[in-house]
Each structure stands twice: as C-alpha cells, then as structure tokens.
Amino acid sequence: MTFLLLRKQKSARVALVMRHCTPRARVEVDLDAIAHNLNVARQAAPNTQMMAVVKADAYGHGMEAVVRRLEGEQPVYFGVANVAEARRVTAVGCRTRPFLLGPSTPEEREEIAYSGWGFTISSMEEAEHFSRIAAAAGSVLPAHLALDTGMGREGFLPNDLGESLPRLLHMPALRIEGVMSHMPVADEDENFSRHQIAVFEECVHEISRHIHLLHVHLAASAAIMRYRIPSANMARPGLMLYGISPVADSASADQLRPALRLVATVTLVRTLPAGHGVSYGRTFTTTAPTRMATIGIGYADGWRRHFSGRGVRVSIRGVLCPVLGRVTMDQIMADVSGVPEVMAGDEVELIGPSLRVDQLAQQADTISWDILTGLGPRLPRVTHPAS
Ligand SMILES: *Cc1c(COP(=O)(O)O)cnc(C)c1O
C-alpha cells in the first residue's frame, strides 16, 4: 500500500521533470515559412495550380504538420511516393487528395483506385489493370498519363504514343484527365531541358486533339524557378517549399525562407591536451590544448558519418565551430576554443539561417534532398506555430 503510494508520487514527479526536458537533438520547423514558399512558387509560375510535394515525411519536416498547414493554401494535390504515404495524407482528414508520383505495383492498385487517390500510368499493363479494377466496381477512373521525355524512370515514350494513345483512349473504365513528365537536368542543362519542354509541348498538343486535359504538369522546383512551360497548368514544387533553392541564379531564390533548423545540445565541455586523438579511427589529433565540446547528435539521427573530416562547422552562441574527428552514432565533437563561455546544455545549431543545407550538401558532396530526407525518426519535429 505505502509502496504503491510512493510509486504514484514518484511517477507524478517524473511527469513534471519530463515536461521540462527538451529533447537533446531535434528538428524545428517553421510552418509559416513553408506556406510562404508555396506562394513564392505561385509567383514564379503564375496561373499555375500547385501539387505540394510532401513525400519522404515532407522532406524530413514532418508530413502531418506540413499537410495540415498547407491544406488552407489549397494545393490541388499532395505529392507522395507510395501507398503508405498516401494513407498518412488521407488520415490527416483534409480535403486535398494525395497523388502518387511514380508507377504503382500491381497489388497497390485496388487501394489506389478505391481511395480516389491521384495516380499516373506508365504502361499498357498498368492502364489495363486500373481499367479492369474500375470496370469491376462499375466506375470510371481518372488517370494521369506519364510521359518519359528524358528522365528514363517512368512513363510512355513519346515515340510510342501513336500506337498507345488510341488504345488508352478506348479503355472502357479509364479516363485520361492529366499528362505529366519529369525533368532530369532542369537545374544544370538548359539545352536538354528546352528540348525536353518542346517534346512535352508537342505530346500535350497531340493528346489535346482527342481529349480535354484537366491537369498538365512537368515542372518540379528547379523548372518552376527557371522555365516557362506553355501548356502546363500545374507544377510540383518539393524542395523549394522547404525554402531551399535548387538553382542559384533565380529571382525567387532570395525570397525563399528555409523552414528547418536542426538543433542539438552540448553535453560536455573539456580541454584536451595537445596530441590527444578525437573519435574513432583517431583521424584527428589535437596539436595544442583544445577546448572541446561533445554534442548529442550523430549518424543515427541523420547527421551523416560522411560529414566527417570535411570542414563542416556548427554554430554555438553564434560562433561557427569546426566539427573534429569522425561522426559517431550518437555524438560529435567540436572545437569550441572560440567560445570560452560555452557549457553543457548550450544549444548547437547544425542546420539553420547561418548554416544552409545546400552549403552543407556541397561540402559533403551530396544534395540538399539527401540530407533533409535522411534526418531520422529519432529527432522529434517541433513545429511553429504548434500544429
Ligand atoms: C520528388 C518529385 C518532385 C519534387 O521535386 P523537387 O525537385 O524537390 O521540387 C516533383 N515531381 C516528381 C515526379 C517527383 O518525384
């Protein structure tokens, strides 16, 4: 009896202290910035509807919160990669439907059809299967025809359209209501991209001779910021929604507001003597007595081991401090000689206003998409405003 009472008091006290304990590493997300960035995309592509791409947990920002915030901005669709993500969008309970960006597997198709999610068809096999599912349910399914104008990943080849299109148009329970394609080098090869846009325009023109198209879409972020696509009435911004520009030379780039801060906490500060190794492999050795902070984040959080030894820095009390030695699973070490007042409990910024993810990507020889979507589930997402 007494024991039980004690336990009860204890758990109340634990609950109290738990509330005061901020996660030592977390992702902070500015939802208003994401809404703002959607409107930057709208200005960059006037008179164009938006499919807000929220795949991969909204590029690491937290899908549910992003979907809830963007719903009010009235995108036409939420772009997702697979059925599990489409379910998550649906579960939020908003009116905007998910759209599956790539081809579907045979066993996913019934759920896609019955749920009324947007989807593409990339082959006759896929089209015929969807048509059979719809016919069995006594309905007609709207689909977006995917074209492979150069990506080599999905879609009908433009040269095959002459043969495929009549067959697609005569499918009993499938109705083509959209045409889409995707650009592989919108951020780097203007000649190819212009050629690709021309091929897309020609295909859309041909298809439009037979049917009315509700949605025509080609551009992801880079193309939204760089190209006009005359026939398109929808675009699919992903990266730019999160405030990162895939292209440097664009008027919209300066208007984007990065939405994510990656924050961790100093757990220990000490001075290591000269000649002391730092981290696994002893790839770094101090050359002088060095004030060193241990920070509670590592590759298990998505702070890649690959960032080791590449001159990556983190910000503590507004000072950029070099990360030294290898990234370990849960901890990294930084030289804080430049910040004498640093102590355990201090906040460390790893991605944020002074540490842009695209710069980090360049240092680490990868791309912003890779770093953002790699931020792991161990990092709680803290949103502003709360969602
Ligand atoms: C992921 C994806 C997008 C979004 O791309 P960003 O470059 O992040 O804007 C758009 N369309 C398709 C088909 C995609 O797979």
Identify the pLDDT of residue 292: 98
76-124 pLDDT per residue, tens: 999 999 999 999 999 999 899 999 999 999 999 999 999 999 999 999 9
Residue 64 above 80 pLDDT?
Answer: yes
Cα separation, 115 vs 127, whole angstroms: 17
144-181 pLDDT per residue, tens: 999 999 999 999 999 999 999 999 999 999 999 999 99
Of the residues 48, 80, 101, 239, which should be mutated to test ligand 1's pocket, given the most ligand atoms within 8 Å of the CB?
Answer: 101
Identify the pLDDT of residue 377: 95
Residue bearing the CA closest to ligand 1, atom 13: 101
Of the residues 38, 49, 50, 53, which should be mutated to test ligand 1's pocket, given the most ligand atoms within 8 Å of the CB?
Answer: 53
Identify the pLDDT of residue 7: 67
Residue 314 above 80 pLDDT?
Answer: yes
In the reported structure, the alpha carbon of residue 239 is separated from the centroid of ligand 1 by a whole-number distance in angstroms of 8
Residue 2 above 60 pLDDT?
Answer: no
Cα separation, 98 vs 114, whole angstroms: 13
332-365 pLDDT per residue, tens: 999 999 999 999 999 999 999 889 999 999 999 9
Q: Measuring from each residue's beta carbon to the nearest atom of ligand 1, which residues come in under 6 Å?
A: 53, 55, 101, 182, 220-222, 236-240, 246
What domains can you pick out in the chain, each with its CATH number? 31-242 (3.20.20.10), 260-355 (2.40.37.10)
Identify the pLDDT of residue 9: 74
Average pLDDT, the chain: 95
Confidence band, pLDDT 50/70/90 cuts, at residue 329: very high
**67 versus 94: which is more confidently predicted?**
67
Instruction: Please state, for a pLDDT cut of 90, what percent of the chain lies above it.
Output: 91
SS3 string, the chain, reads CHHHHHHHHHHHHHHHHHHCCCCCCEEEEEHHHHHHHHHHHHHHCCCCEEEEECHHHHHCCCHHHHHHHHHCCCCCEEEECCHHHHHHHHHCCCCCEEEECCCCCHHHHHHHHHHCCECEECCHHHHHHHHHHHHHCCCCEEEEEEECCCCCCCCECHHHHHHHHHHHHCCCCEEEEEEECCCCCCCCCHHHHHHHHHHHHHHHHHHHCCCCCCEEECCCHHHHHHCCCCCCCEECCCHHHHCCCCCCCCCCHHHCCCCEEEEEEEEEEEEECCCCEECHHHCEECCCCEEEEEECCCHHHCCCHHHCCCCCEEEECCEEEEEECCCCCCCEEEECCCCCCCCCCCEEEEEECCECHHHHHHHCCCCHHHHHHHCCCCCCEEEECCC
Residue 6 above 70 pLDDT?
Answer: no
Identify the pLDDT of residue 35: 98
